[in-house]
Amino acid sequence: ITAETFSDRPGGLIALKNSAVSYGIGTGSNPQKPMMTLVADRNVIGKDGQNCSPAAITGVITSLVPASDRPHWDDKIHQFVGNMGLVDGSVQQLSATDLERHLTTTGDSR
């Protein structure tokens, strides 16, 4: 189920964007892939305004493809590092280099 409205403001998530949620969600996570991202700190940076076909979400996804989107963390929360909660229940603190390695290794960036 995709939330469409977070207030009485027209446009729902598409209009509110980062004002609607305080963390990132791994839209492609599933129990068969325990190392994939379930949640992430909101200070992850990638390519905004993308789509997620498996979750049928359009126009509001931040894509984190290492080869093209240069995923990294800003300095707003943990000074250029961030936390990712994985499907297996663990939480990993990752630098930008570790983030790219994680996304490439797990295939979580696709």
Cα 14 to the center of its chain, rounded Å: 15
Residues sharing a CB contact under 8 Å with residue 16, sequence separation 6 or more, in sequence order: 6, 7, 9
Put simply, whether the predicted model's pTM sits higher than 0.85 gets the answer: no
What's the rounded mean pLDDT across residues 14-33? 76
In SS3 terms, 79-108 reads as CCCEEEEECCCCEEEECHHHHHHHHHHHCC
Q: Where are the domains of the chain?
A: 23-106
Let me know: does 65 contact 28? Beta carbons within 8 Å.
no
Span 50-94, pLDDT tens digits: 888 777 888 878 888 899 999 999 998 889 999 999 999 999 999
Let me know: does 30 contact 88? Beta carbons within 8 Å.
no
